[in-house]
Structure 1
């Protein structure tokens, strides 16, 4: 385990979103099953916390942007700041949808098609945002999800209002198509990983990366597909499972996304005006982490330790004498002990 890589590749934004969604899913399923009887405004607390962090981070970042004009000359500051404002606008529209959903569940005073209007609007806007993100080499997971599901949002709203009498298996056709494409991608990643494992010219790093990517996509897509099948059957009353049982496969996908957030890299440097990677900001706030961030742990077996000891032995009259250290090794150890200890100021960035 390499803590240096763990700190450098960590994406706090994705980690916050996935944790909030996981907690909200659990609370919402318990509320639908009648296990808890809290108000929906309370059930949505993880969502409110997510949006609060987004609004607060953008507000602080904008204050730093206008308060210190010389910060705008730092690298791609304009691109990062524009990306933050675009993300803020999309989250505000998404917040409007969530407020309408919560009010609908509590009072039932609106039609679902009116509730879904902000979500349909954000899906159309997300198409232009995806084009801008590709042009400026920015990530666009939320925007891509909304843009490819615009038809599903319309079908879902019409079915919830009873304007169409389709079965939910038919209503979720756009999601079935999307999941089929995702399964094709998973199969491709598995086949590619298998080919690399049998290719002698591939480096161990390439094999490991392809295998980890294939496993991550498998544990991400397959549980979502199982959840979608269970949900469609539950809504059509073909099965008698509880909602907690229906959403249980979804937690595997959430757990996978949380783990993947520790290797997601990226992230906008202007959230909360930190103007640097989260790793460097965290080390500046907690200098004690510098000592642990430059440590890599490697667990060896007993046989490997014995081999290492055998390699360190010296020979006398053509025979191995284990347990002894050569004079050159002793000199190297003494020189290493005499070297001054210099505190590490930051984690070394990878090449």
Structure 2
């Protein structure tokens, strides 16, 4: 059974990553068609999706900077200042990426008309990526200290050697096969494949566990499956691309050499597609962080901003769909598992409340003993005051336990429907 919750979608939708994955997907499609000679348009049209993505980043960053300068946050709002710094760093990264894309366009489009004595080497083309990879190491450390995501910075940092190898190979400064050139990518994707395999095994173990409610177990399974379909196709694409490039260098008339670039890069397109799905929040609330609040001066994530501007959308925030029929026995079994998990949590809370009451009671008795006895009347008054001090704590413990049981009964009867503010979790 598959459950789609619009509430999770509104809370976890990351517009920046979705747009980036969509632009990369379109660029990859146009680039492979151009390499296969199936289209005759200029490389400017091929690089247009990437330039459009960079332009969107520049406009959003400029508006965010204007909003920050016009109404800066207070000194106590540290996280807003950190978010603004993260946005500025992202803008600088996209400036370097735009320079690399422009250099690559000039190299591919005007290589035939360049002067023979003044070539434009690929080392110069990749120089912005070299700078970005070196700077990404420090940016990743900064992001780790401030609890910010750094997936792309980590990608640039670990692939700096890969960029150098590709530039040297394209300039024919090294006589290596493409299998050797792609060794850094082999290592990275192999480790990623081991990681997703571990995630799959862990999800299988958790789905049989009784310590988690079924909704959380399904979330682990969905996340593991999406990560698998993001990593394994990329590894398959690397295998096909390496075989094709090496076969072309060896002038081998094998089946791999006759494979088109479109088919060789198709698995990578599948990987980008599933990355876009995860960025949209369908991998669970923890699969992707929220968008930076300073883009376009919104000062809040995109979906809460849209819900504030369009209150009619709040009607659909609590809607969820279940795909796949289930009989009544399975539904009752799932509800029983949820009740059992909730009952276990309530028992733990009750035990914790009782432990707190006992600890305070023992502390009061110890204080009474240290005070000393000034007479039977004083001791009786002290014990009486101690009992009067204990009764409110016992009442609080019993009240909290009753509230927990009432909440558990309400959840068992009406399910996990979320009725609060859209920016708050269930």
Q: TM-score range by the shorter chain?
A: 0.7 to 0.9
How far is the alpha carbon of 1:296 from its aligned partner?
2.8
Q: Aligned ranges for residues 69-148 of structure 1 at < 5 Å?
A: 69-70=72-73, 74=77, 76-108=79-111, 109-148=119-158
Deviations, residues 97-155 of structure 1 (Å, cap 9, x unaligned): 11101100011241001111110110010000000000000011111110000000000
CA change 1:86–1:299 in 2 (3 A) is closer
Name the structure 1 match of 2:261.
243
Q: Aligned ranges for residues 270-309 of structure 1 at < 5 Å?
A: 270-298=294-322, 301=325, 303-304=327-328
Provide the TM-score with structure 2 as the length reference: 0.70
State the distance in 2 between where 1:64 and 1:72 align: 16
CA RMSD of aligned residues (A): 2.2
SS of corresponding position for 2:321? coil
The more displaced of 166-175 and 189-198 is: 189-198
Of 192, 210, 213, 1:203 maps to: 213
SS of corresponding position for 1:297? strand
State the distance in 2 between where 1:148 and 1:299 align: 40
Q: Is the counterpart of residue 68 in structure 1 residue 71 in structure 2?
A: yes
CA change 1:198–1:69 in 2 (3 A) is closer
Gaps of 5+ in 2: 112-118, 249-255, 282-287, 333-418
Name the structure 2 match of 1:313.
none
Alignment check: 8 A CA contact 2:136 2:157 kept: yes
Deviations, residues 247-302 of structure 1 (Å, cap 9, x unaligned): 11112111111110122232210010100121111113333312222333346848
CA change 1:68–1:111 in 2 (3 A) is same
How far is the alpha carbon of 1:41 from its aligned partner?
1.1
State the distance in 1 between where 2:163 and 2:56 align: 26
Of 228, 234, 254, 2:272 maps to: 254
Size of the aligned set, in residue pairs, is 315
State the distance in 1 between where 2:261 and 2:65 align: 42
State the distance in 2 between where 1:155 and 1:6 align: 40
Gaps of 5+ in 1: 309-343
Name the structure 2 match of 1:189.
199
State the distance in 2 between where 1:61 and 1:152 align: 34
Provide the TM-score with structure 1 as the length reference: 0.84
Q: Is the counterpart of residue 215 in structure 1 residue 218 in structure 2?
A: no
How far is the alpha carbon of 1:72 from its aligned partner?
6.9
Alignment check: 8 A CA contact 2:73 2:81 kept: no
State the distance in 2 between where 1:138 and 1:209 align: 23
State the distance in 2 between where 1:201 and 1:290 align: 32
Q: Is the counterpart of residue 349 in structure 1 residue 420 in structure 2?
A: no
Alignment check: 8 A CA contact 2:307 2:314 kept: yes
Q: Is the counterpart of residue 12 in structure 1 residue 20 in structure 2?
A: no
Q: Aligned ranges for residues 34-53 of structure 1 at < 5 Å?
A: 34-53=37-56
How far is the alpha carbon of 1:348 from its aligned partner?
6.0
State the distance in 1 between where 2:133 and 2:99 align: 14
Name the structure 1 match of 2:163.
153
Name the structure 1 match of 2:178.
168
Larger Rg computed on CA atoms: 2
Alignment check: 8 A CA contact 1:280 1:346 kept: no
State the distance in 1 between where 2:272 and 2:324 align: 32
State the distance in 1 between where 2:89 and 2:305 align: 23
State the distance in 2 between where 1:47 and 1:216 align: 25
How far is the alpha carbon of 1:75 from its aligned partner?
5.5
How far is the alpha carbon of 1:191 from its aligned partner?
1.6
CA change 1:52–1:72 in 2 (3 A) is farther
